[in-house]
Amino acid sequence: MCDKKNIVITIARQYGSGGKTVGEMLAKELGYAYYDKDLLKLASEESGINESLFAKADEKVNSTLFRITRKVYQGELIPPESGDFTSEENLFNYQAKIIKELAEEGSCVIIGRCADYILKDYDNVLSVFVHAPEEFCIEQAAKKHSMDLKDLDKLIDKIDRQRAGYYKYHTGREWTDARNYDLCLDSSKLGFERCVEEIKAYLKVRFGEI
């Protein structure tokens, strides 16, 4: 799988928990590459599929499709001549292909997009889930959105339901199940800096000096 010198950290996160911020801080401190929405552009360039389609399906899945069937990721790509070439399943497949390639290229931090599942068979991947109570997530979201508390609560619930549905559709697993991750952190209790320190401490125990 990956080169032993490479370490890949995947971070799944509840909206408003600050998981993205933790990932950015961690990547900066470790000198690792950092990937979030730029994964969409890379997948678009790889596949030739318009980036807007990747953005439209980013960490969400059509509710009708979800009710009908599940498309647990198997690793194969759908060819261009197929009518399903631009399907949500194939958009995920190309994104997964990019995630695997990045994991093989060098040490990095990857935010969301089922990266923990895609890289589950890689020996040197540390999967993290960052979560926090509703009040904390609302407080953090309020720093980015000018909404009243009721609307913020609805926004957080909507995004988390979309992420959970996306994860379930493509992995067959529950997004918030702690068994899917190596490390689960409550950012409201630790703060972002301490979350970074806890991840670094776990890395040292598992992989030695970093």
Domain ranges of the chain: 8-204
Cβ-count burial of 179 within 10 angstroms (0-12 exposed, 13-18 middle, 19+ buried)?
A: exposed
d(CA 201, CA 156): 30
d(CA 196, CA 206): 15
Whole-number pLDDT of residue 17: 98
d(CA 202, CA 183): 8
Phi-psi region of 132 (alpha: psi -120 to 50; beta: other; left: phi over 0): beta
pLDDT tens column, 123-175:
999 999 999 999 999 999 999 998 998 999 999 999 999 999 999 999 999 99
Whole-number pLDDT of residue 63: 62
* pTM: predicted TM-score of the whole model, two decimal places: 0.92
Residue 195, both tokens: 């979350």
Spatial CB neighbours of 26, under 8 Å, sequence gap ≥ 6: 9, 32, 109, 196, 199, 200
d(CA 145, CA 129): 23
Question: Hey, is 34 helix, strand or coil?
Answer: strand
Residues of the chain whose pLDDT is less than 50? 1-3
- Architecture per CATH, domain 8-204, reads as 3-Layer(aba) Sandwich (3.40)
Please measure the distance between the N-terminal and C-terminal CA atoms of the chain and give it in whole angstroms. Answer: 19
Whole-number pLDDT of residue 74: 80
Whole-number pLDDT of residue 3: 47
β-strand 125-131 against 8-13: which pairing, if any? parallel
- Write out the H or E segment, with its range, that includes residue 111: strand 108-111
How many beta carbons lie within 10 A of that of residue 86, not counting itself?
17
Whole-number pLDDT of residue 5: 75
- Average pLDDT value for the chain: 92
